[in-house]
Amino acid sequence: MATWALSSADRISEISKKSLVFLVLSFCSWFAAEQMWNLYEHVLFVDPYPSIADLFYIIAPIFMFISLVIFLKPLRDHIKKKHIAFAIIVSTSILIPILAITFQANIETEFFEIAVALIYPIVDAILLIPAIISIILSFKINKNSFWTLILIGIVSFIIADNLYLILVIDDAYFDGHPIDILWLISYVAWSFAMYKLIQNSKRNKPEKYQNNDEPVTAKNIATYGINLVLVLIIVTTIAVLFALNYFWSIEQSGNFMMFFSLVLITLLVVFSSIIVILNSKLTNALDTKNVKIDNLTNELIKSERLSAIGELAARLSHDLRNPLSVIKSSVEISLIRNKESLSPKDHESIQRINNAIQRMTNQIEDVLDYVKTTELQKKRMSIKSCLTNIVNELQSNKINIKMPDNDLTVLADEGKLEIVFSNLIKNAMDAIGDNPGTIEIKSHDEEKDIVIDVIDSGSGISEYDMNKIFEPLYTTKQTGTGLGLVSCKNIIEQHGGKISVKNNPTTFTITLPK
């Protein structure tokens, strides 16, 4: 189960991948130690202490200690010195008497045996320190059921280990002793923790890609075909081993053959499970890739459609530009020639014509700015000077535009940035409307970037619009094209920068590399 959980680490949020790796290593070490111990004691009839099994028993708590430390690292701001001191005091108060008893009981044995016997309570005491800190934190911050089960298992295991040492010294331990229940509690708690982790990972599976029946059929064959073959291999192996044990005639090797058969079947099941898990993981990875490919395909189709629309819009805009210029010039000439003879109502009509022409011109310019992708003509330019030119053209009596105090320079295309700043300031003025208001422009220098903020006192942007504001053809204005902010984003990204927006107050932030 631990290996299965590790294969789903990318979809697990309760524990980091690195912490999970060390947790699984600790479980595997304990599993290996138990198998080695049983081999020595019940099959080979050899005293398993000290042996290679002790190495696995000792490194398992160390792996779990590392896993707990990694888990606690993001919570270090919540850990106080008194928590650490309390954990060390409790751990030491348990360790010292256990060490004294163990040393006294093994004083006549060889140095290596004494060292191994003393290492057991030491590694348990080391593991107990982060375990106690985690228990303290679990009462102060949000409880995590996964780690609660892990900590229950750790505490139960350490208690069982220390009691076992005392019982062995008094020669009072036997198989089936009541303290075995504590080890059983540990394994059950850890098993439930891993099961919960696996179940949570299943909820985060990517949406399955099912474009047609053929890929689904191929996937089913790959998944169930591999599983069926593995089942046939396991059944065949078990049948062969059963036959060997049934017809085995050498009594001295009977126990060894039985143990060998059980170990072989166990390993076969374990490795088959790993293959099934890896196959499942690869299938899920393939599903994820297919979903990404499907999304990219849809985006490509959308971009091709937008490109075709853009080219058509560019041609129409170009064709409309010249007639509009003629209309505008004709209106202005007519106004000059008949200035004295025109009534106030005629002047009002001519003004409406000029406003309509100006709106159409602005929309045409938005379309052309979005469609044309000319190379940047970069040079060292002044941000304040660029803004001053735009503000002088857009100055309003009701709206106060505050310029930045500092004058920063950046390597950029001044003409392109003028389009960006003009769009942002016009949008800010539209957001304020006919009410008095303020537009404040700030700039500051970071390590590698220049940051410009355009802040307005308007009503703000809704959350729904905030997510769509940089999408092509999306606009909240009756006379807008939905291309102004998209053009701004394209220009800024062409410079290697980025643009973002936030509310309270409405702030557009531009970041440009120096």
Summarised one tens digit per residue, pLDDT across range 238-265 is 665 565 555 554 444 455 555 666 666 6
Integer angstrom CA distances of residue 54 from 37, 40, 61, 461: 8, 12, 12, 65
Does the pLDDT value for residue 289 go beyond 70? yes
Does the pLDDT value for residue 137 go beyond 80? yes
Does the pLDDT value for residue 89 go beyond 90? yes
Residue 72 vs residue 356, higher pLDDT: 72
| pLDDT at res. 509 | 92
Does the pLDDT value for residue 221 go beyond 60? no
Rg over alpha carbons for the chain, rounded to the nearest Å, is 37
Strand pairing of 399-402 and 437-445?
parallel
| pLDDT at res. 249 | 47
How many Å apart are CA 284 and CA 463, to the nearest integer? 34
Strand ranges (E), 316-419:
379-382, 399-402, 409-412
Does the pLDDT value for residue 335 go beyond 70? yes
Does the pLDDT value for residue 507 go beyond 50? yes
Residue with tokens 């075909």: 225
Residue with tokens 């690869």: 282
| pLDDT at res. 508 | 92
Compute the average pLDDT of residues 194-209.
63
| pLDDT at res. 29 | 85
Residue 126 vs residue 142, higher pLDDT: 126
How many Å apart are CA 351 and CA 57, to the nearest integer? 91
Residue 124 vs residue 233, higher pLDDT: 124
| pLDDT at res. 262 | 64
Q: What is the dihedral of CA 24, 26, 29, 34, to 10 degrees?
A: -100
Amino acid at 323: P
Greatest distance between any 2 Cα atoms in the chain: 129
What's the chain's average pLDDT?
Answer: 77
| pLDDT at res. 248 | 52
Provide the residue count of the chain. Answer: 514
| pLDDT at res. 367 | 65
Does the pLDDT value for residue 37 go beyond 60? yes
Question: Could you report the per-residue pLDDT of 476-486, keeping only the tens digit for each?
Answer: 776 666 777 88
Does the pLDDT value for residue 272 go beyond 60? yes
Cβ atoms 401, 432 nearer than 8 A:
no
Stated pTM of the model? 0.45
How many Å apart are CA 354 and CA 7, to the nearest integer? 68
Compute the average pLDDT of residues 109-123.
84
Question: Could you report the per-residue pLDDT of 374-387, keeping only the tens digit for each?
Answer: 678 888 989 888 88
How many Å apart are CA 428 and CA 369, to the nearest integer? 19
Q: Which domains does the chain show, CATH number per domain? A: 2-203 (no CATH), 304-371 (1.10.287), 379-513 (3.30.565.10)
What is the helix, strand, coil percentage profile of the chain, to 5? 70, 10, 20
Top-confidence range, 38-52, 81-95, 102-116, 468-482: 81-95
Question: If pLDDT is split at 50, 70 and 90, which confidence band does 429 have?
Answer: confident
Question: Could you report the per-residue pLDDT of 451-465, keeping only the tens digit for each?
Answer: 999 998 888 888 778
